[in-house]
Amino acid sequence: MSDIAVILPDGTELSVEEGATVRDAAFEIGPGLGKDTVAGVVDGDLVDKETPLHDGANLVIVTDQSDEYLDVLRHSAAHVFAQALQRLYSEAKLTIGPWTDDGFYYDVTNVDLEKEDLEAIEDEMRNIIEEGLDIERTLIDREEALEKYADNPYKRDILETEAAGDDELSFYEQGEFEDLCKGPHVESTGEIGAVKLLNISAAYWRGDEENDTLTRVYGTAFESESDLEEFLEMRAEAEERDHRKLGQELDLFSIPSVTGPGLPLYHPNGKKVLDALENYGRDLNDDYGYDYVETPHLFRTELWKQSGHYDNYQDDMFLLDVNDEEYGLKPMNCPGHATIFKQGSWSYRDLPVRYAENGKVYRKEQRGELSGLSRVWAFTIDDGHLFVRPDQIEQEVEDIMDIILEVLETFDLDYEVALATRPEKSVGSDEIWEQAESQLRSVLDASKMDYVVESGDGAFYGPKIDFAFEDALGRKWDGPTVQLDFNMPERFELSYTGEDNEEHRPVMIHRALYGSFERFFMVLIEHYNGKFPFWLAPEQVRILPISDDQIGYAKKLKHELGDFRATIEDRSWTLGRKIREAQTDRVPYMVIVGGNEEEAGTISVRDRKEREEQDVTVEEFRDHLEGEAAEKRPEPDFLADEE
């Protein structure tokens, strides 16, 4: 039997026999590692330790000290849930139960479950964990597997689709329970330290709303009770910061049923925040030489066929017939920008050409995937598209990354960087993709920035650099992106006249600073817990007259505060209630005025941290606000010295 070579994380090659498994490779490295092996990561996929390796495979050995171990543990916890469910509800049918970033879920049917039922299932899960049942992998031939699931159409669907070519199927057994599964799993149910069932919801089989509705139970698992407690505390904090809850409390946005799913309405308070974000982005674009353009929401599908979206994105598009012609709501802004560029006549001296647009786009997500502002049907991208000469690529990408880093620093967001490479569904030649990926990698390497490679996560038209930002609770969200595109200029036959007086093809760079306004707004609401920085707050100052006698003085002060977003609390409430209401509304500053302040021509200033200073001149306060807004300081700091 001949040998094959696998690639280890440090880039070295390990020679193993053909047919060797992940565990075999671990034993080749060392007997201790072989004994400790729980699973493996092969070409980016988490797999069972008995998975055979192929020549050239990229291999990471997973032990109980690896980051991936928690995923394996949670996958096993999903099986423990399924076993507990069938002990209590023998009629329940199982479908799929994968691990997730926060835990696991299992989709089931043929059983009526309410949230109140989860406690009993959770108790039975703990019994199974205490029993310390061995979790063992077995291989069963296809006919036997089909017979096992004669009355379970969901498992048979799996056997007939993703497992269609397998003569032997992988099952995992623990006690009386068995489940069709590729793994990986821990050795015993006793390795699961702590479990918690979190929620229950409806879900469609395969995520398709045309299919059966199932019951989805969410849970989580950890190695220890202390880890679980920490997670539950963080979860409670996340619920407190939930943008849907705060959006209602602060009157920022709503998604009523009459608009349709995933179609948010922005109320005046929310629109003021969005305007502040848009103005900040416009200032950055102006500084870097972008020209604003505008494209319609609807195009003939001829455009989407030319761009490649029709073939690669059709299922996610809203299509309609108008006068026997097919039109599509735009899922992206780039074809419109390419069309604008094509209308011009360009010399090499004119490049780079930089277009920007805060363009509304539409994507037909499954209803079950829609959630607040994080995933919607209609959203606005702070889009930018650059048309550059090949020799300008690296400088322009560097400049874009500088803008993105400035944005992330302004909002005090930590971030991670990834180079996303060619996906399975893509357009363009191997040579074009290799060139594009090489140039983005060159920029990242030159920046000395830490990054990971996410194989297959690029756009269908080109590779990209993605920034994922981390909010105050440590959650990661997709954000800014830089995408290199050699394909769309080819499809649209874009050209410029070179120094040699010949026609040349420009390169197109796609970039977004926020990603989308909707998701970025969502992240900011939760990141700041509704306590927006002064420059971003929908209401920056609330003037609180102690009595109706000071209403006139309050109006004069509002005028003197100029363009700042100031309001007057003129309801006949006590001062204490007015202050409490302003703090509940998270207003950065309160200006309190009574008879003494009016007589002296001064104000008392109080911030939302309950710091207060009296005998302040309006000019002094206004000058401070101008500086705080211009510098985009993260917290109100007029009274910072009072702490």
Q: Look up residue 212 and give its DSSP letter.
A: -
CA distance to 162, 540, 545, per residue, from 620 (Å): 69, 16, 20
Strands (E) located in 33-96: 39-42, 45-48, 59-62, 93-94
Query: Which helix (DSSP H) or strand (DSSP E) does residue 207 occupy?
Result: none
- Pairing state between β 253-254 and 213-222: unpaired
- Please name the residue that has the structure tokens 């604008």: 340
Annotated binding residue 504: no
Helix axis angle, 69-88 to 118-131, nearest 10°:
110
Task: Report the distance separating Cα 303 and Cα 336, nearest Å.
Answer: 8
Show contacts of 299-306: CB within 8 Å, 24+ apart.
299/327, 299/328, 299/330, 299/335, 299/336, 300/325, 300/326, 300/327, 300/328, 301/326, 301/327, 301/328, 303/335, 303/336, 303/339, 304/328, 304/335, 306/335, 306/491, 306/492
Q: Provide the 3-class DSSP secondary structure of residue 39.
A: strand
Alpha helices in 448-502 (DSSP H): 488-491
Q: Look up residue 17 and give its DSSP letter.
A: E
Tell me the backbone φ, ψ of residue 383, rounded to 5 degrees.
-85, 150
Q: Look up residue 11 and give its DSSP letter.
A: S
> Are 323 and 372 within 8 A, CB to CB?
no
| Strand-pair partners of 468 | 416, 478
- If you compute the radius of gyration of the chain from its CA atoms, what whole number of angstroms results? 29
Annotated binding residue 385: yes
User: Among 344, 308, 304, which Cα is nearest to 326's?
Assistant: 304
Task: Report the distance separating Cα 382 and Cα 169, nearest Å.
Answer: 47
CA distance to 117, 333, 592, per residue, from 585 (Å): 37, 36, 16
Annotated binding residue 181: no
> Are 133 and 174 within 8 A, CB to CB?
yes
Task: Report the distance separating Cα 216 and Cα 197, nearest Å.
Answer: 11
Q: Provide the 3-class DSSP secondary structure of residue 392.
A: helix
Compute the residue count for the chain: 643
Which residue type occupies 94?
A: L
Burial class (CB in 10 A: 0-12, 13-18, 19+), 89: middle
> Are 509 and 381 within 8 A, CB to CB?
no
Residue 351 structure tokens: 């490049």
> Are 105 and 77 within 8 A, CB to CB?
no
> Are 145 and 157 within 8 A, CB to CB?
no
Q: Provide the 3-class DSSP secondary structure of residue 601.
A: coil
* CA angle at 446 for the pair 440 and 448, rounded to the nearest 5°: 110
Task: Report the distance separating Cα 410 and Cα 553, nearest Å.
Answer: 36
Residues annotated as binding site for Zn(2+)? 334, 385, 510
Residues annotated as binding site? 334, 385, 510
